Amino acid sequence: MRALVAIVALLAASSAEAQTRCITTPEAEAMTLVALPDIIQQTGIICTTRLPSSSLIRRTDSEFLGRYRDAADRAWPNARAAIVKLSDPMIDTLLQSEFARPLLTAALAPLLVGRINPADCATIDRFVTQLAPLPPQNTAGVIVTTLRYFKGEKAKGKAIAVPDLPLCPEGQR
């Protein structure tokens, strides 16, 4: 638990330098890939009473979720580097612990999934089912592209609730 507190504290540190840092699209996609298995699983829990047990997001032992777990494992080094880039180089040592990733995703997933209205479960299920044939990397790309679009719309003054992920402008590294 102390490691989680330390990680959160370092991630939350806000200096003028940290505020100018941003992550590239591939880095955002890696972070998304790492979080997706927990997000899918937590969504299935929220939607338990609204969806049949055959729903992809309700099946915790499926090949579908296994593909996302494998992709998350492969994406972790890049996601970890992006987290370090956004925070403080000292956090890298903490993130190398075998407990860091599960703690981070366990803390992050409920924040995102907690916004789900159970009335939307059928739509979410349909969306996930349509994306299921794609490789997990493509799904992460769709999510980051959608996030980038919504951030652009919000910047134009539209009332859109979108996570404040510090995405670099396209083409910036």
Write the pLDDT tens digit of every residue in 141-173.
Answer: 999 999 999 998 988 989 888 877 899 987 655
pLDDT band (50, 70, 90) for residue 110: confident
Task: Give me the pLDDT at residue 19, please.
Answer: 52
Q: Supply the pLDDT for residue 112.
A: 75
Q: From its phi and psi, is residue 150 left (phi > 0), alpha (psi between -120 and 50) or beta?
A: alpha
What distance in Å separates the CA atoms of residue 36 and residue 31, rounded to the nearest whole number?
Answer: 9
CA 73 to chain centre: 13
pLDDT at position 29 is 96
Span 119-135, pLDDT tens digits: 999 999 999 999 999 99
Q: pLDDT digits over 29-42, tens only?
A: 999 999 999 999 99
Closest to 93 measured CA to CA, from 107, 106, 80: 80
Contacts 24+ apart (CB under 8 A), 93-99: 94/3, 94/6, 94/7, 94/10, 95/7, 97/3, 99/3
**pTM for the full predicted model:** 0.81
Helices vs strands, H then E, count in the chain: 8, 0
- What value does the mean pLDDT of the chain take? 83
Cα within 13 Å of Cα(160), Cβ side: 16
